[in-house]
Chain A
Amino acid sequence: MAAWQNLVNFLGPDLARIVVGVVGVLALVQVNALFLVWLERKVAAHIQLRIGPKEVGPFGILQSIVDGIKLVGKELITPRHADRKLFMLAPIAVFLPVLVSFVVIPFSERLLIRDMNVGVLLIFAFSTFNVLAVLVGGWASNNKYSLLGAVRAVAQNVAYEIPLLLAVLSVVMWSNSLQMSEIVASQSKVWHVFSMPVATLIFLICATAETNRAPFDIPEAESELVAGFHTEYSGMRFALFFLAEYSNMLIVSAVATTLFFGGWKSPPFLGFLPVPGLIWFFAKTYALIFVTIWVRWTFPRLRFDQLMNFCWKIMIPAALLHLVVYAGIIKIVR
């Protein structure tokens, strides 16, 4: 009887919720990528004393749509002696985990697809998948620049995952839960960015490195490796890598918002404003994205060994120390 009931429940509201959620996430990912490409070009242009796209649509807002159409129309070229199956698989593998990560992110108090009790774990488990896709893509391309890019990407992402997770662990300890909604609830009085600024900084730096954004964009350093791991990709396959990059930016910013910046909650002193949580959530997320864009167009790129030294000699010890100190504080406070 109970099993029967569970099945009905699953096929009914739960399945409907997941289907609607996935469709919504797909739409969000596409629109976000189109918007972010435009935003990045516009912000970069204004930083660089230029105007940026302005021809297609008001303020050039339709430029990325036109670019997308162009990419769809391009020929898919597979290099000779490439591993055809893996070459085809990589862009798909880089894009799929992006969708899964959105399942547990609470966009507002009610708007979340599934409130899993291992939400944080799920996100980081799937975001790690990204590295595999990059490695596969770089290897299968049969191009030396792609291979070097893939090697760099693996070394970098694996290294930066450690301080990232250590920083998140402090948050998990503080809020005593892996559930995203619980973590937001634990910030109702003080956001974690104020209670643990160091962890926030570590998280943001590592997140930039995880998403291969400048100044940590060494896997695709265009002045060294032409285009890094996606040198040989063209058309829609290239577009998928591109889409994944911008979606990953959204994910890490959304996770940072949830973990450190109070999620969908309004800032304490602005609580009286009748602004829904969804708006606050996206405002914070895009503010963080804006900062990463700003950083990208300001700093030169680090060298590979400097990047690794920075991670192993500074970030990991700092994150470990932070974890120990906060473990002590939590023990004393509670």
Chain B
Amino acid sequence: MANEFLEPITEQTFYLNMGPQHPSTHGVLRLFLKLDGEYIVEADPVIGYGHRGHEKMAESHLYEQFLPNSSRMDYLAGLIFNHGYVAAIEKMAGIEVPPRAEYIRVICAELNRISSHLLWFGTYVMDLGGFTPFLYSFDDRENILDILDRVSGSRLTYSYCRFGGVARDVDDEFITATHQFVERLRSRWDDYHNLVTKNVIFIHRAKDVGVINRELALRFGCTGPILRAAGVPYDVRKAEPYSVYSELDFEIPTGTKGDALDRYLVRVQEMEQSLHIIEQALERLPDGAIKAAVPHKVRPPRGDYYFAVESARGAVGFYIVSDGTSYPYRLKARVPSYGNLQVLTEVLPGTLVADTISILGSIDIVVPEVDR
């Protein structure tokens, strides 16, 4: 990257620095594009503008102290990251989680997944120039934020999970509100499909655009909707069931081609599956404790541990090395967006500037998650 400006510029080539300040790079991603007219010859995603050193921070924090950091990596699916981190520590320290807490975690994680997908839905269509669906989906998302706000006390970075359970119990109002939300979102699909999914312009903008096929997705370690859109039915919730997902009935939607339209459809179907999961979990929600008795300072035994969960964007893994003290020796977070973003270097060349936006939007990256 050091010599990017040293290459001779001919009349045909045209360098464009898209980002870090650009309306559609979703945060602080910088795309360094080499253009021929409007066609992209080379694309280089430059990351690191949102680097905060979370992994290094973990080494000087107690296990408990790092908890809030986990939901700040991916601010759109904070609760799922939270869940992943907490579950990793529980696996290390051998903590049993009461079933009620597990169910609450699953309900909240799925709500969080829907809120992340709804935000993606809105911003993706806005990237393509349709402004109205954005406000519709944000209106729905607002409901989820209110529901999660009631139980966790925050709207974006939840830090709701605790070692051995969750911070606060849910009440009847939470359950009614969640039921109402499930009904509400189901009644909204028609609007969304009429406005976007069946829109001829949208289909033209998304179909056969940015094909990430099975081979490419596997080579770059893509996970989540991108991998599933390429036809690989891999979902951590099914492949390595954690929490109570093995007791719940849901399907893994997959695509065939791996283009932007497939990724769109996979995410929309995933939202429906999440609603289905939430309904089941609410029905089976057992009574009992919400938190196991856990020592004040967790001291996991010596060794290295890995635990993965499925976030809205793919597999999130926490690899933690413990030296037997109450501070982790090393913490490494495997985040989905990192692999998902790198695939751009292969997919973007040959497409138009407008497609770049469509592809970037369909990949659904969260840059602070990439940078950590």
Contacts and interface: CB of A to CB of B under 8 A. Distances in A.
A44 B129 CA distance: 14
A225 B204 CA distance: 20
A220 to B, nearest CB: 11
A223 B23 contact: yes
B129 A223 contact: yes
Interface string B8-26: 0000001010000011100
B204 A303 contact: yes
B131 A297 contact: yes
B205 A302 contact: yes
Contacts of A224: 24, 353-354, 356-357
A303 B135 CA distance: 23
A226 interface: yes
A193 B199 CA distance: 26
Contact of B16 (A47, A144, A299): A144
A304 B201 contact: no
Contacts of A297: 131-132
Interface in B170-223: 195-196, 199, 201-202, 204-205
Contacts of A302: 201, 204-205
B125 interface: yes
Nearest to A145: B16
Contact of A148 (B24, B38, B135): B38
B241 interface: no
B353 A299 contact: no
A300 B352 contact: no
B130 interface: yes
B119 interface: no
B354 A303 contact: yes
Given A48-B136, A49-B135, A306 B129 contact: no
A264 to B, nearest CB: 34
Interface stretch (A1-9, A132-140, A210-218): A210-218
A221 interface: yes
Contacts of B126: 223
A222 interface: yes
B352 A221 contact: no
Given A148-B38, A302-B205, A48 B357 contact: no
Interface string A282-321: 0000000000000001111111111000000000000000
B23 A305 contact: no
Interface residues of A, number: 29
Contacts of B136: 48-49
Contacts of B102: none
Contacts, number: 80
B127 interface: yes
Nearest to A155: B38
A50 interface: yes
Contact of B129 (A144, A148, A214): A214
A292 to B, nearest CB: 15
A48 B201 CA distance: 19
Given A300-B199, A303-B205, A304-B38, A217 B129 contact: yes
A299 B130 contact: yes
Interface string A151-192: 110000000000000000000000000000000000000000
Contacts of B196: 300
Contacts of B132: 44, 47-48, 297-298
B354 A218 contact: yes
Given A47-B132, A215-B129, A305-B352, A222 B23 contact: yes
Contacts of A221: 129, 354
Contact of A223 (B16, B128, B201): B128
B357 A49 contact: no
Contacts of B38: 148, 151-152, 304
B364 interface: no
A298 B131 CA distance: 8
Interface in A189-208: none
Given A50-B135, A223-B127, A299-B130, A215 B201 contact: yes
Given A301-B201, A303-B204, A303-B205, A48 B23 contact: no
B346 interface: no
Given A221-B354, A224-B353, A306-B204, A301 B128 contact: yes
Nearest to A152: B38
B38, B131, B353, most chain A CB atoms within 10 A: B131
A224 B16 CA distance: 12
B139 interface: yes
A214 B38 CA distance: 20
B355 interface: yes
Given A148-B38, A222-B23, A300-B202, A49 B139 contact: yes
Nearest to A227: B23
Contact of A304 (B14, B131, B135, B352): B352
Nearest to B15: A144
Contacts of A300: 125, 128-130, 196, 199, 201-202, 205
B129 A48 contact: no
Contacts of B357: 223-224
Given A148-B353, A223-B357, A301-B354, 16 more contacts: A44-B131, A47-B132, A48-B131, A49-B135, A148-B16, A215-B129, A215-B201, A218-B354, A223-B127, A223-B129, A298-B130, A300-B202, A300-B205, A301-B129, A301-B205, A304-B353
Interface of B: 14, 16, 22-24, 38, 125-132, 135-136, 139, 195-196, 199, 201-202, 204-205, 352-357
6 contacts: A152-B38, A214-B129, A217-B129, A297-B132, A303-B205, A304-B38
Closest 3 CB pairs of A and B: A301-B129, A300-B130, A300-B128
